[in-house]
Amino acid sequence: MNLNRVRRLNNFDIVKGPVVYWMSRDQRVNDNWALVYAQEIATLKKVPLVVVFCLAPNFLHATIRQYGFMLKGLTEVENALKELNFPFHLLIGEPASVVPEFIKNIEASVLITDFDPLKIKKQWKNEILKNITIPFHEVDAHNIIPAFIVSQKEEFAAYTIRPKINKLSPEYLEEFPPVNKIELTKSLLPSKEVDWNSVIQNLRIDRSVPEVDWAIPGEHAALNLLKEFIFDKLPGYNNNRNNPVKDAQSCLSPYLHFGQISAQRVALNIEKHFPESESKAAFMEELIVRRELSDNFCNYNLNYDSFDGFRDWGKKTLDEHRHDKRDHVYSREEFENSKTHEDLWNAAQNELKQKGKIHGYMRMYWAKKILEWSASPEEAMETAVFLNDKYELDGRDPNGYTGCAWAIGGIHDRAWTERPVFGKIRYMNRNGCKRKFDIDAYIDRNK
Ligand code: FO1
């Protein structure tokens, strides 16, 4: 495989012993460059390959809505690995201690993991580096063009990263090799079958946010959804995507978030089955350019989830307007409980709470109004990130953090005409929504 997808996190050389793939962001067996790489090393060195997933208790305050979806997807991973004769181990606890412990126990020779721009993942990896003496390699199995290859700095906007992506696409948008079944030798590292029900029951997490029923978790369901999207929805995508009362979106984002499908598989299948068109271009822009831009933002801006991460112009203009009179000011609880004066905003919040997603267009409106009706831009960003992470099925994703920073802080956007509270941050209003879609129908379906 293209070794530019791999980054060495330390300088140890590979010795003899099993290869461990610590699966984290990319929770799938097919189309996974980290697993492909791990298998290549194991085959070359003629050593076993073991896959582990480390279940972190209370990961960024995730609730049963997100844990449930993730764990059900992981049962499919366990079964698929069993078919291939790869041992799978579910480790429970803080990765910084349980991963090194596992490595020591099985005398592993190399640790491989997937890339993730989030701060917590970087911390985990840094802690692990202090506690191991074997090579630790990271593979970007999430982006088509690895985040550390496409750019080495925080990009300004889509127009600055797009040419870099376009230039590198021919090299990286390639077909995946299959993951090969290994011949069953008496494994020294048999899997310990996971009792998923008891794992779920023993999690000490917030269970007040119910799981959703519109999305069946797992790799298999994701591929079916992709097929349905390409044939049924993609033809009208460009006309319908900004209409929240039309069922025009792919709904793939939770699957992409948990790595149950690879963005590269989505792009390859679309390339194979769909003609060049405005719809295809619009979807590919979101799937590739916007996603890679979000990873770039979180990778190079450590304050991606707060006011401090905004660009100087955004901070300055919001500062200049921080004392402007607000017509309405709501607390986090009022926002959370859909208790604003505006039925359209409340409908978006209801959609978030009930379905675990807000339609893309309304997601922008939702965040803009949180800025307009919060006591300060800092508080607005905190509220938007809190609600997004608590209720979105794909919360705690670079895309979510970047979306909030775009709406509230003007990240990747330009300055607009100055107005109260927003300063030069782009404004959105109810009339704009009214012009685009039937807002009464949207309110009615999200009561
Ligand atoms: N990644 C892990 O490696 N272990 C976990 O226990 C874990 C829990 C989790 C819960 C909710 C959620 O939204 C994400 C979670 N992730 C976990 C991380 C996830 O796979 C992503 O890597 C990040 O959220 C960034 O995209």
Distances (CA, A) of 10 to 94, 131, 136, 166, 398: 21, 12, 6, 31, 25
Residue where one domain finishes, among candidates 300, 328, 356: 300
Nearest ligand 1 atom to the CA of 114 is 22
Nearest ligand 1 atom to the CA of 22 is 3
Residue found by looking up tokens 């997490």 in the block? 205
We report the CATH number of the domain holding residue 38 as 3.40.50.620
Q: Same domain, yes or no, for 380 and 329?
A: yes
Exposure on the CB side of residue 309, measured as CA atoms within 13 A? 24
119 in any annotated domain: yes
Contact (CB, 8 A) for 291 and 400: no
Q: What is the pLDDT of residue 181?
A: 84
Q: Same domain, yes or no, for 369 and 281?
A: no
Contact (CB, 8 A) for 360 and 287: no
Q: Which domain holds residue 87?
A: 3-142
Contact (CB, 8 A) for 287 and 263: yes
Q: Check pocket membership of 388 for ligand 1, CB cut-off 6 A.
A: no
Q: Same domain, yes or no, for 350 and 294?
A: no
Could you tell me whether strands 49-55 and 110-114 are parallel, antiparallel, or unpaired per DSSP bridges?
A: unpaired
Per DSSP, helices labelled H in 194-262 are 196-202, 219-228, 237-240, 253-257
Domain tally for the chain?
Answer: 3
Q: Same domain, yes or no, for 25 and 52?
A: yes
DSSP annotation of 423? B
Rounded Cα gap, residues 367 and 427, in angstroms: 11
206 in any annotated domain: no
Residue closest via CA to ligand 1's atom 26 equals: 397
Which amino acid is residue 231, in one-letter code? Answer: F
Q: Same domain, yes or no, for 37 and 117?
A: yes
Rounded Cα gap, residues 125 and 115, in angstroms: 10
Q: Same domain, yes or no, for 67 and 150?
A: no
Q: Same domain, yes or no, for 93 and 32?
A: yes
214 in any annotated domain: no
Q: Six-digit token pair at 293? A: 């831009």
391 in any annotated domain: yes
Q: Check pocket membership of 25 for ligand 1, CB cut-off 6 A.
A: yes
Residues of the chain with pLDDT under 70: 184-188
Q: Same domain, yes or no, for 160 and 291?
A: yes
Q: What is the pLDDT of residue 260?
A: 98
185 in any annotated domain: no
Q: Same domain, yes or no, for 235 and 322?
A: no
Beta strands in 371-414 (DSSP E): none
Rounded Cα gap, residues 201 and 55, in angstroms: 13
Distances (CA, A) of 192 to 51, 70, 119: 12, 19, 31
Listed in sequence order, the residues at least 6 apart from 319 whose beta carbon sits closer than 8 Å to its beta carbon are none
410 in any annotated domain: yes
Q: Check pocket membership of 67 for ligand 1, CB cut-off 6 A.
A: yes
Residue where one domain finishes, among candidates 93, 127, 142: 142
152 in any annotated domain: yes
Q: Which residue from 140, 28, 124, 127 is spatially nearest to 80, judged by alpha carbons?
A: 28
Q: Check pocket membership of 26 for ligand 1, CB cut-off 6 A.
A: no
Q: Same domain, yes or no, for 286 and 158?
A: yes
Q: Same domain, yes or no, for 34 and 129?
A: yes
Beta-bridge partner residues of 49? 19
We report the CATH number of the domain holding residue 253 as 1.25.40.80
Listed in sequence order, the residues at least 6 apart from 251 whose beta carbon sits closer than 8 Å to its beta carbon are 214, 215, 225, 229, 357
190 in any annotated domain: no
Distance 51 CA to ligand 1 centre (A): 16
Q: What is the pLDDT of residue 15?
A: 84
Q: Check pocket membership of 205 for ligand 1, CB cut-off 6 A.
A: no
Q: Six-digit token pair at 424? A: 């030069």
Residue where one domain finishes, among candidates 241, 274, 300: 300
Q: Which residue from 60, 47, 225, 27 is spatially nearest to 134, judged by alpha carbons?
A: 47
Q: Same domain, yes or no, for 126 and 26?
A: yes
Residue found by looking up tokens 């994703």 in the block? 397
Distance 296 CA to ligand 1 centre (A): 18
Q: What are phi and psi of 93, to 5 degrees?
A: 140, -170
Distance 55 CA to ligand 1 centre (A): 9
Q: What are phi and psi of 402, to 5 degrees?
A: -70, -35
Q: What are phi and psi of 368, to 5 degrees?
A: -60, -40
We report the CATH number of the domain holding residue 357 as 1.10.579.10
Q: Check pocket membership of 99 for ligand 1, CB cut-off 6 A.
A: no
